[in-house]
A and B are shown apart, each in its own frame.
Chain A
Amino acid sequence: MLGYYLRLAFKSFRRTPGLTALMVGAIAFGIAACIVTLTVYHTMSGNPIWWKNDVLYAVTMDSWGPRTPWSAEHPTLPPDQLTYQDAAYLYGSNIPRRKALLVLMSGALSGAPGQPIPRSVLTQATTADFFHMFEVPFEYGGPWSAAADRGPEPVIVLSRRENDKLFGGADSVGRTILWNNLSFRIVGVLDHWHPQPKFYNLTGGGDGNFGKPEAPFVPFRWDEVLHRWPAGSYDCWGSGQVDTYQELIGSECVWITLWVELSGTAQRDRFLDFMNAYWAQQRTQGRFQRPRNNHLWKVSQWLKIHDVIDSDSTLLMRLAFAFLAVCLINTVGLLLAKFLRGAPVTGVRRALGASRRQIFAQHLVEVALLALVGSALGLALAVLGLKGVQAMYAASGGDYGAAAHFDPRGVLWALALAGVSTLIAGLYPAWRIGRLSPAVYLKSQ
């Protein structure tokens, strides 16, 4: 029966090629627009380390001044970074399984075959656990040791891109390189790693939320040793003088990010208790004058409070759905017209004994075929569209050029949505044609 219906559908398409092309085209354009915007949106809203969402936490405490909240826009949020003294104290706890301090430093690389003259690089100063807790892949070597953290030892981890540039992609582990004119030993080279969004560093500075990870990596304590002013964002309040690095360290300025890995709610609660006790103790000494707002943020929450998805993308996605709606309404109208035009034939089939169910099924097969062809064409259009979007972002140097990469999961979603909605759109015309009384159409017009 299905084969017969398919043959009928092909026949019907051939009878009205223009109308069929119109419908397929409309469906294809609607689907393409949805796939493109959904893909961009999906990438932006993705959690690149979702499998560790329940164990990784960004740590914040409200150390801001008593008069105004840190963020006027979201007054209930504590500052998204920590003061040096709080970060150092909380990092000292051995409750978390793993923990990492993060700060961006300015630096310059030289002394490699590919880099005779110093080149400025934004450097991620962090602690050894960073690589373990965020499951950073290595091509050569590995993370530095905990002892190197304490030293700090002059050890450095390069990104793959950096290693390609400096050593032509060769295994450079064990070689030395000049970082800020100091001799550093390369202990590891990362494999390709580009989490999107760059969930661990959303506090500003660097290459933006969708840019490449800041690299190279050096032990966090080099920041203290070299007295480098933070190269990422930092916020200060109050009227205290913050003139030197020493003063910055003792100040209420927030400029350090702390991530902890806590397995299970018990460990999580214990760490929160630890934070609360520290908060209470510091409060007696005149700090933390705002209400207690100690918070551990899951990655998903961290992405949310940083408004990673820009409002333009949300808007475009809604616009794409309005477009799909117009395309589908169009399809319903055209299908209805087409089916009604074929009503005399349907009348004959009904008179010859086809049931309403069969007429309905026959027309639905035709709709399904349309949806299939339209979706396939839409997919092809979407690939072109995404290429266009990528080119556009690349040309403008925007930081989420890579956000428009072809993501199979997002595409499947969009395709399923489009296919199903086209089928639903076809339900009414197919039903309507099945309800026609055959007698009217057996008469001459």
Chain B
Amino acid sequence: MQLNVRPVLSALARNRTGAILVALEIAIALAVMVNATWMVAQRLHDIRQPTGIDQRDIFEFAVAGFSTQFDYGSSQREDLAYLRSLPGVIAATATSAIPLTAFGQGDGIRRRPSELSHQFWVRSMQIDAEGLKTLGVHIVAGRNFTATEVQPFSPHFSHLASEVLVTQSFARKLFPHGNALGKSIYGSTDKPMTIIGITSNFFGSVIDTPSYDGLLYPQEPGGYGDYICLVRTQPGKAAALMRTAERHLATANPNRVIFDAHVLEYYKGQLDAQNRNMVIFLSTVTALILAVTCLGIFGLTAFNVSTRTKQIGTMRAVGARRRDVVSYFLTENAFVLFAGILLGCILALGVGSWLSSAYALPRLDPMYLALGMVILAAIGQLAAWHPARRAAAVPPSVATQTV
């Protein structure tokens, strides 16, 4: 049957309020669903971003001496010799920062010694020649530190090295139009440091959000009052080797304390915790809003059906098939859906632009909006389907009964 939309529209006009309310619900649901999904996508992207290091097979612990006389240099050399002798250990290094945690340092780097106002802030680490192998980071250009370039421990805080490594990301930031290799850069002093190599990108220590910008010094750490041992093991052996090493080292030297021993994967989990929780929250609330909206659609259609029993009976009596009754109610619902989705589009774009300005979120991808519209239209019709079927079950004889 060629469906006549006139009766549908006039029925809608007679029961405006309910339809308007459901359309409003649909609009809010669409705006929330689209933007929440967009945010979830961003968070998942952050979680999946590669760390650039082999966090599953690296463990770490920190070492601090009790007194100012504690010899950080010989202590870390002994520790590293022991760790490297353990079967199952691939490489070990002593460093000043724990990757994927807030434990670490940052430096302001300048491209010219006189340039005081223009600094590039970067997270830095002190490592030795085995540092890159331990992290699972590789050289992209130039070369690694040699053992002789590694500065022995000194109870001073500043960096003594004249060679440094930078990550690809930081190299590009420093010298966007040229090759960073071989260039001199400056830290807090006017002593030049030469970039001898460029490494693959990885996350060092993290302030707020992880960054691939990194700077590596060849130096024995300890100047800040503690050092970190990073140990890379054969796959799957990190946790067991960590316990062995911790037990041995805790008693090997009574003048110090071993603390914060963890496999780096643990810190990765902590780093992702907020994003993961946000994903759970956003998905739950979005699902609930969709469910409530479906209930609203269901309720409206069911109400319409129940108040128009006699009208349906008349329709059937004058020749409408069951199918026609179903499509009558679905058409009515489609109009409400259409209005709601149209309004929801505007709302979603508005919320999207507000989010991107207030929360520095990337602008909403229109694909998400388009997909959201289709999905909402589909489940909106699905929600009305059951009551519409019930309407079709009304027998034509109802038309002749009095209520």
A: residues with CB less than 8 A from B are 19, 22, 25-26, 29-30, 33, 65, 67-68, 106, 108, 117-120, 180-182, 204, 226-229, 231, 236, 238-244, 310-312, 315-316, 319-320, 322-323, 325-327, 329-330, 332-334, 336-338, 340-341, 392-393, 396-398, 432, 444-445
Q: Which residue of chain A has its CB nearest to the CB of B311? A: A445
The 9 closest A-B pairs by CB, nearest first: A396-B273, A120-B259, A337-B303, A108-B257, A243-B156, A333-B21, A181-B66, A118-B257, A67-B117
Closest chain-B Cβ to A323's Cβ sits at a distance in Å of 5
B292 within 8 A of A: yes
The chain B residue sitting closest to A311, CB to CB, is B359
A398 in contact with B295 (CB, 8 Å): no
Taking CB atoms and an 8 Å cut-off, the chain B residues in 134-159 that contact chain A are 155-158
Which residue of the partner chain, among A30, A241, A311, A340, contacts B189 with CB atoms under 8 Å? A241
Q: Are A336 and B17 in contact (CB under 8 A)?
A: yes
Check B24–A329 contact: CB distance below 8 A.
Answer: yes
- Closest A residue to B21 by beta carbon equals A333
Taking a contact as CB atoms closer than 8 A, the residue among A26, A332, A444 that contacts B402 in the complex is A444
Task: Report yes or no: B292 in contact with A398, Cβ–Cβ below 8 A.
Answer: no
Q: Is B28 an interface residue (CB 8 A)?
A: yes
B residues neighboring A (CB under 8 Å):
17-18, 21-22, 24-25, 28-29, 31-32, 36, 62, 64, 66-68, 102, 116-117, 119, 155-158, 188-190, 223-226, 250-251, 255-260, 269-270, 272-274, 276-278, 280-282, 285, 288-289, 292-293, 295-296, 299-300, 302-303, 306-307, 309-310, 359, 402-403
Q: Which residues of A contact B62 (CB under 8 A)?
A: 120
Inter-chain contact B25/A326, CB cutoff 8 Å: yes
Contacting B292 at CB < 8 Å: which of A106, A311, A330?
A: A330
CB-CB under 8 A for A336 and B18, given A326-B28, A341-B303:
yes
Contact B21 A332 (CB under 8 A): yes
| B285 x A19 contact (CB < 8 A) | no
Q: Which residues of B contact A396 (CB under 8 A)?
A: 269-270, 272-274, 276-277
Report the bound CA distance from A118 to B246 in whole Å.
13
Contact B289 A334 (CB under 8 A): no
| Cα–Cα, bound, A434→B243 (Å) | 75
Whole-angstrom distance between the alpha carbons of A108 and B260 in the complex?
Answer: 12
Judging by beta carbons under 8 Å apart, are B22 and A333 in contact?
yes
A326 to B27, CA, bound (A): 10
Chain A: minimal CB distance from B299 (Å): 5
With CB as the reference atom, state the residue of chain A lying closest to B291.
A29
Contacts of B282 in A (CB 8 A): 319
Specify which chain A residues have a CB less than 8 angstroms from the CB of B272 in the assembled complex: 396
Given A118-B257, A243-B156, A398 and B32 contact (CB-CB distance below 8 Å): no
B277 touches A445 (CB 8 A): no
Of all chain A residues, the one with the shortest Cβ separation from B187 is A239
CB distance from A154 to the nearest CB of B (A): 14
